[in-house]
Structure 1
Amino acid sequence: MMPLVLPALFFISAVSAATSGLHPVVLLPGYTCSQLDARLTDDYRPFTPGCGIPKQGRGWFRLFENFTALQEDPGLLPCYADQLRLVFDPVAGDYRNLPGVETHVVAFGTTRGFGSNNPAQKNGCMERLVKALEGVGYREGANLFGSPYDFRYAPAPPGLPQRAFSTFVSSLRLLVEHASKRNGNKPVIIVTHSLGGFFAMEFLNQSPLPWRRRYVKHFLTLSLGIGGPPGILQVVASNPGTPPSSLLDSVLSFGNRSFASMLSVLPSPNVYGHTPLVITRAKNYSADDIPEFLSAAGLSDDVVARYRTRGLPVTLNIRAPLVPITCINSVGIPTVDKLVYWDGNFSVEPQVVYGDGDGTINLATVLALKRVIGDDPHQDYFKSVFIPNVTHDGMISDDFALKRVVGEIIEANQRL
C-alpha cells in the first residue's frame, strides 16, 4: 500500500506553470498500468520452493511489471505471481498481501509510475496521452500529475474495512490539493482510463461535496462503463491450473481470482437484470445468478460470500460524482456480449456472441453510465462523446482519439 504522504511528491523538479493558464491535470491509468514494488520479510512462505530466499531482507524490488527480470530469469514468473496474490483476513475483515510481502505503488504523484519496462507495451499506459498533453503546455510535476494505484484492491461498502482503498483516497486527495495549490489554487481536471475511472468515481463519492466543488474543475473518463462487461466472466471461469505465459497474463487471467477488484467489476443486476450472459445446456446465468456462476466456476464459498457482502453492494451503489463530467467512449468494435459453454465445461474456450462496444467495454455498460449520471437531477453538467471504431486501449494511443481527448481537456479548461 502507498503511504499517506510521499515526501518526494513535493520535491518534484520545479517547472513554472504560472504562465500557461491551464488547470492542472491528474491522470489515473487503467487496470495493470500501475507499477508495484515489493519487499519480502522472513515471514514470507512461498508455495514454490526458493521464491523467497534470494530477496528476503534485501529491500525493494520491482514486482509488477518487471519484464526485464523475467526475460533474464523466466523461473521468477511463479514467484512473482505468488507474491502478487491477496488474502482475505477474516479477523480484520479486509484484504491484504500475503504474510511477509510488503508492496507500494511506484512514483505516486507522477506519470512515471505508469506502464512496464516491456517495449511492446510502452505506449499502452497513457504515455502517448502524456506526450499529447505536453504538446499543449502541460509539464510533469508542474501542472501534470499521475495517480497510480494498486489495482488488486477495491472499494468496500460503507461500514466495511477498506484499508488499501482508504489510503488511496487520502493520498489522491492530498495530490489534488497539492496540484491546485501549485497552480494558483485552480481546481483540478481528473482524467482517467478504464478502471481508473471507477476508482476515481468512488474517490469522488467518498470525498465531501464541498471539497469536490472546491478542488475538481472537471472529471473526464475514457473507456469507462459501469456494471461490468460480460467478458470478465470468461476470465473468472478460466482454468486456475493453467500456467500463465507472462506476469501480465497471470494478472489478466486466473491470477486475479484473489484480487478484491475482481468482485467489483462483475456484471451488475442493475444493468443486465435477467438477460442471460453465460449459456449452458443445463442452465443460463444472468447477472442475478452471479453467486451461482462463481460456485460453478470453482470459486470457494468464502469468495462467493465476499461477492455478496463486498463486491455486489459497491456495484449496486455506483452514483453520479456531482462534479462536471465528460465521458468519452468508443463503439463499432466487436465486444463480448454472451458466452456459451454448452456442455457446462468452463475449462474450455467458450463460443462467444458479440455485440457492440470497444472490444472490452460493451455498449450496455456505457449506456448505464449515461443513465446513472446523466439522469441524476443533482448532476449539473454531463457530456457523453462517442468515437467510432477505436479500441479500448486505442482511446489513449490512436492519434484521432488522442486529438479528441486533448480537445475535451482544453474545453474543460475553458468551461466556466
Structure 2
Amino acid sequence: MSSRFANYLSILLLSLSVSMSSAFFVVKRQEITPVILVPGDGGSQVEAKLHKDRVVHYLCEKTTQDFFNIWLNMELLVPLVIDCWIDNMRLVYDNVTRMSSNSKGVEIRIPGFGNTTSVEWLDPSEASPGAYFKDIANALVALGYERNVSLRGAPYDFRKAPNGNGEYFVRLKALVEETYGINDNQRVIILAHSMGGPMSLHFLHSQSKSWKDKYIRALVTLSGAWGGSVKALKVFAVGDNLGSYVLRESILREEQITSPSLAWLMPSSLFWNPDEILIQTDEKNYTTKDFKEFFEAIDYPVGWEMRKDVEKYSVEFQAPDVEVHCLHGFGVDTINR
C-alpha cells in the first residue's frame, strides 16, 4: 500500500468524521472517527509453539520453550527449512467435525489483537518486505489518530474461513464496543483489506441493526475479495511462490491448499457466468459448475469437502445495513484463467 494511496484514504476517512470549512479541515480529537483495521489473507502475524514427537526434517525443531514468529518470518522461507514451516503452518481437516485444526504438536496464536503493530508489519523485525498497513497507519497518525486508541487492529487466523473463526467475531464485537467507549462514544469505521472485506461483511450480518446503528459509522474496504478470486484456483492447482524466485510453487502448495479460507476465496457463482471457463486443460475445461470435478482432477478431494463447508459464505452478499465505501485499484495484472 503506497503512501500516496494512504494519503488518499486518509482524506476519505476524515471526510466521514469532520466537516469542511471554506478552505481547510479543522481536526479535533473528539471529531476523529475511530478506525479498526481488518487485514486480508496473509495479513496477520502468526506465532507458533512446538511440542512435537516427530519432525519432517532433521533441521526442524521438535519443541520450543515459548511462542516464536512463524509468519511472516523470512528466515523460515528458505530451501530445506521451509519443509519445517509447511508442517507447522498446515491445517488438518476432519471430515466428521467438518473443521480444520493445527498439526499435531503445534500451537498457533495470532498476536497483537486490538493494537496495530501486527497488521502494520507482518514481520516483527519490520523488514521492508513485511510492511502492510504501515503507510496507512502513519498517514492517519499524522492527521491526529492515536495508535491503540482511535486506531486499532483486529488480526485473525487467515487460514480459516468464517466457520472456523467464531471466537474472532466475538472478540471483534467487543473491540468495536471498547473502541467506541474510549473515543467519547464515537462510532467506529471498519477498514478492511481483501479477504477482510467479506470477513467484515459476515461479522456485520451477525449483528443486530440496533447494534450497528449505535457502534458502526461505516465499512470501508480496500480491494475487497467480494466474489472470490481465480488465483485461489491457481493456488489449488499449482501453488503460489509468494513473489519469490527462490521458493517453488509446488512446495508451498502443500501448506496453502490446507486452508479453508482458500476454498472460501474460490470464484463465486454470483459473479462468474456459469459457462465462463476458469481452468483450461487439454482434456477438459472447468467453470464454477465443475469444482467437484476440478478437485478430483487434482487428486485433492478434501478441497471439495472444504468448499462445501464454506460455499454458503460465498453467496452471503446482502447489504450490511451500514454505510459502505469500496475502494479498488486499476491497471493491475490479475489472473483471469
**TM beyond 0.5:** yes
Match of 1:27 in 2: 37
Determine the C-alpha separation between the residues in 2 that align with 1:57 and 1:209.
46
Match of 1:322 in 2: 321
Determine the C-alpha separation between the residues in 1 that align with 2:107 and 2:239.
28
Match of 1:137 in 2: 144
SS in 1 for 2:328: strand
| Alpha-carbon shift at residue 253 of structure 1 (Å) | 4.2
Match of 1:70 in 2: 76
Match of 2:221 in 1: 221
Match of 1:238 in 2: 238
Taking a change above 3 Å as real, the CA distance of residues 168 and 248 of structure 1, as seen in their structure-2 partners, is farther
1:102-147 CA distance string (max 9 Å, x none): 1111211111112224624143x11001011112111101200001
TM-score scaled by length of structure 2? 0.82
1:240-266 CA distance string (max 9 Å, x none): 9xxx97789789744210011011000
74-83 or 244-253, which deviates more? 244-253
Taking a change above 3 Å as real, the CA distance of residues 148 and 51 of structure 1, as seen in their structure-2 partners, is same
Match of 1:149 in 2: 156
Query: Is residue 47 of structure 2 the alignment partner of residue 46 of structure 1?
Result: no
Q: How many aligned positions are there? A: 304
Determine the C-alpha separation between the residues in 1 that align with 2:137 and 2:91.
31
Contact kept, 8 Å, 2:86 with 2:254, in 1: the verdict is no
Contact kept, 8 Å, 2:49 with 2:65, in 1: the verdict is yes
Question: Given residue 318 of structure 1, which amino acid in structure 2 is its aligned partner?
Answer: F
Determine the C-alpha separation between the residues in 2 that align with 1:251 and 1:218.
41
Taking a change above 3 Å as real, the CA distance of residues 290 and 208 of structure 1, as seen in their structure-2 partners, is same
Q: Unaligned regions of 5+ residues in structure 2, if any?
A: 1-26
SS in 2 for 1:134: helix
| Alpha-carbon shift at residue 74 of structure 1 (Å) | 5.9
Determine the C-alpha separation between the residues in 2 that align with 1:250 and 1:219.
37
Contact kept, 8 Å, 1:45 with 1:52, in 2: the verdict is no
Match of 1:396 in 2: none
Determine the C-alpha separation between the residues in 2 that align with 1:252 and 1:136.
40
RMSD of aligned residue pairs (Cα, Å) = 2.6
TM-score scaled by length of structure 1? 0.67
Q: Unaligned regions of 5+ residues in structure 1, if any?
A: 1-16, 157-161, 339-416
| Alpha-carbon shift at residue 320 of structure 1 (Å) | 2.0
Q: Which residue, out of 94, 98, 107, partners 2:99?
A: 94
Match of 2:202 in 1: 202
Identical aligned residues as a percent: 29
1:159-208 CA distance string (max 9 Å, x none): xxx3xx11110111111111000011111001011111121111111223
Contact kept, 8 Å, 1:235 with 1:254, in 2: the verdict is no
Equivalences for residues 258-297 of structure 1 within 5 A: 258-272=258-272, 273-297=274-298
Contact kept, 8 Å, 1:238 with 1:254, in 2: the verdict is no
